Structure 1
Amino acid sequence: MSHFTYQDGVLHAERVALPDIAKAFGTPTYVYSKAQLLANFDGYAKPCAGRDALVCYAMKANSNLAILDLLAKQGAGFDIVSGGELQRVIAAGGDPGKVIFSGVGKTVAEIELALEKGILCFNVESIPELHRINEVAGRLAKRAPVSLRVNPNVDPKTHPYIATGLKASKFGVAFSDALDTYRQAAALAHLDVVGIDCHIGSQLLDDAPLLEALDKLIELIDTLAGEGIHIHHLDVGGGLGIDYGAGDGEPVPIAHYVERVFARVDAWRAEKYDGKPIKVVFEPGRSIVGNTGVLLMSVEFIKTGEEKNFCVIDAAMNDMARPALYQAWMDVKPVTPRDAGAVKYDLVGPVCESGDWLARDRDLAVEPGDLLAMMAAGAYGFTMASNYNTRGRPAEVLVDGDQVHLIRRRETADELFALETIVK
């Protein structure tokens, strides 16, 4: 995380000291670096320059309007999984014509909204969904652009909750069923078959599984062409991981992966299609926004026990769900390191659950009132946060050089129950 560094013994976001942010906005607070966000996006955008390609940010990773606005201004499209996310894209100034709509459970209302706004494509994940989209499109006198999300049964070797390309996954159409499903799609009156899509999982440090899945998509495109079904875009999905500091190794550089995708696609098109290009779509999420943020939090108490020492912090599982949900290892750093000897702690929050922990067995020299930063917290942090125990979700701020912008204020208790009604 090159834009989060120690300067004069204090952890900074770009040129802003994190204690200054805590003083101004309180804790817990998500702090994002604009420079890191744009650098990550450029990792995809620069190798795509001059090509028929589109980078669709998977906004489920972090859907704050300020983040979406910055990426839209860089030319990003968006990968969405709900009608609400489409409305966020539009509110942020994004182009619906650059939106890919994924997800297994699209409702009639969501399909209507997407067709009315003119999205780029639906990534379809089942035959019943094909028929639903066809029916809605016919009723609205529109043609719906569709792509099939093909499940290639490639093992991404990642956490089972985020492995999405195996036979047992709820996602996608099985590779063995894909040809027949495409035939059915091509026969429906109100659909335009325009693409093929694949997403096998996330937090992949090695791109070999992604390239293996690409090879299977290429094989299927050739088969479809032989039946007169011509694919206009190839969506390779997302999935590249980031370094969480757990010692799992460095992820493949974004640009290297993108270049390998294009090398494979270019060789294939030269061999089979006289060099005729095909539009390539990427759907990155975590690799764009993951290391752009930290979760800034305060130490409330130090609690010693017979078997464990606990560092009780003001952030909790409702603020950052990944450790409790995935047993994810997240690096935690003191904002102002102490010279005292470190003690091994479990970092736990105030939520009334034994599963409320953010880190375990960490060597830290801390005292009540100290600030800690959970690193690489920009993806699947705030977007997965909840109001469990009637806790307001954290504030979010964006740092741009030496400027700090509040991009979402902290919720108040009154706001949490404002939509509820007492029956008299």
Structure 2
Amino acid sequence: MQLSNQRYTIQDVDVLAIADEFGLPVYVYDADKIIEKIGLLRSSFSGVNLKIKYAAKALTNVSILKLMRQQGVEMDSVSVNEARMGMLAGFEPGRIMFTPSGVSFEEIREAVDMGLQLNVDSLSLLEWVGQTYGSRVAISIRINPHISEGGNIKISTGHADSKFGISILQRPDILAIVKKYQIPVAGLHIHTGSDFKNANAFLKGADVLFDLATDYPDLTFIDFGSGFKVAYKEGDHITDVAELGRQVSEAFQNFCQQYGRDLELWFEPGKFLVSESGHLLVKTNIVKENPTRTFAAVDSGLNHLIRPMMYDAYHDIKNISNPLGAEKIYTVVGYICETDTFATDRPLPEVRPGDVLSFENAGAYGFSMASNYNARFRPSEVLVYEGKPYLIRQRETFDDLLRGQEIIEFEEELVKK
């Protein structure tokens, strides 16, 4: 989103005009930004057979999935319902990686029946796959490398105490089960978390997987997950994707030479592809001046963007209806009956009742983690594609809140006299 001639635009579309047309609050996504990120990844990994698998949990709108498929991106899912959305968007089942965590065996069976690429992350699941399918279903194996790097502990998944993946210390147990049932192993997978600033975490993970690969002679891919850090504010340290690509590609090429043939190199970016594309537009309801703070209360809350409350995540905020106003200090809060603070003591151009604010980097884990808490509606979603805004999800209504409920009719309460 750019400030041009005192107005904010996305692909030359006036953002305030989008707010007027579709109402507030509303998520707005910039297709050009998504395409730009895809191109950056591709250009950064040269000389390797790169496959980009979009981690759909970041933003599952079917139109976004269709855009990914149009750009030649494949898909990573963590539930069969995500996979169904991907298939609705046109993805072939075999191009969807299914990486569950602690799901039921019934869901695993359903995923296999759908034809998804199964990624196994526990010894118990590996044993069940062997007992159920023997050598009939090729799998990949998710390894926990005991690497602790990256950002917030809540999104760190490769440390020794994480629930994700099979511990590298259980390497002999993995191989014993695979040999017992002759399970075909097509790939090895690792995902150590998020917000990595450099290539170190990926290279450490690569050392683990490259060594483990000697146990499995018939691999077709190595999957490094994701974890690229994006910028949340001006001057933020981000992952140097070009340098990362150079170092990882070189290491991967050397590995393939030693392995004896070229494999595919997979990444599963989610936040990296969609975070910067997204803007959550909200209206300022009231400006409340207290002795210690000035609050700007908006028509949104943790029900629409929970990351600041759940992860202490920073989201830049822009006053798009008064961008040249005198700077003042505000604590921006929501309308939920909880402490739902988006930002504390944030300098902003003067915020007035009715002003439209934009929470930046709202493309990832905004709508996908939204809820109906306090019986509030989830917003509409709009995609700006080739200079035109498209409504890709309608705003919820009261009927949506009631859908699925069965209302019991009770006798009228007897009034005691």
Between 1:332-341 and 1:385-394, the stretch displaced more is 332-341
1:166 counterpart residue number: 159
Match of 2:114 in 1: 117
Deviation for aligned residue 1:46: 3.9
> Which aligned pairs between 1:229-244 and structure 2 lie closer than 5 A?
229-244=217-232
1:410 pairs, out of 386, 395, 406, with: 395
Q: 2:23 aligns with which of 19, 23, 26?
A: 26
TM-score (norm 1): 0.92
Tell me the secondary structure at the aligned position of residue 184 of structure 2. strand
Matched letter for residue 200 of structure 1: T
The secondary structure found in structure 1 opposite 2:335 is coil
TM-aligned CA deviation for residue 51 of structure 1: 4.2
Kindly indicate whether the alpha-carbon contact (under 8 Å) linking 1:246 and 1:330 is maintained by their aligned counterparts in 2.
Answer: no
The answer to whether residue 148 in structure 2 is matched with residue 155 in structure 1 is: yes
| Displacement of 1:262 | 1.4
User: Which residue is equivalent to 2:240?
Assistant: 252
The reply on whether 1:273 has 2:259 as its aligned counterpart is yes
Contact (CA 8 Å) 1:299, 1:311: kept in 2 or not? yes
Which moved further from structure 2: 180-189 or 27-36?
180-189
CA distance in 2, matches of 1:210, 1:241: 13
Deviations 1:301-323 (A, max 9, x none): 00011222110001111000100
Instruction: Name structure 2 gaps, 5 residues minimum.
Output: 410-417
Counterpart residue type for residue 179 of structure 1: P
The 1-side partners of 2:149 and 2:110 are apart by 33
Aligned twin of 1:215: 207
How far apart in 1 are the matches of 2:124 and 2:158? 20
**1:82 shift after superposition:** 0.5
Identity %: 32
Whether the 8 Å CA contact 1:9–1:336 is kept in 2: the answer is no
Whether 1:188 and 2:181 are equivalent positions in the alignment is yes
1:376 equivalent to 2:361? Answer yes
TM-score, reference length from structure 2: 0.93
Select 1:6's aligned residue among 3, 6, 17. 3
Q: Look up the match of 2:301.
A: 316
Tell me if 1:361 matches 2:358. no
Q: Distance in 1 between matches of 2:179 and 2:384?
A: 48
1:283-339 deviation line (CA, Å, top 9, x unaligned): 111111111111111111000112221100011110001001011111001113354
Q: Which residue among 37, 62, 65 is the counterpart of 2:59? A: 62
In structure 2, C-alpha distance between the alignment counterparts of 1:47 and 1:248, rounded to whole Å: 20
Alignment equivalent of 1:202, drawn from 194, 200, 215:
194
Aligned-residue CA RMSD (Å)? 1.8
Of 306, 318, 329, 1:333 maps to: 318
Quote how far apart the aligned CAs of 1:215 are.
Answer: 1.4
Q: Distance in 1 between matches of 2:58 and 2:325?
A: 37
**Deviations for 1:219-251, whole angstroms, at most 9, x for unmatched residues?**
2213x15xxx54331111111110000654133
Name stretches of at least 5 consecutive residues in structure 1 with no aligned partner.
Answer: none
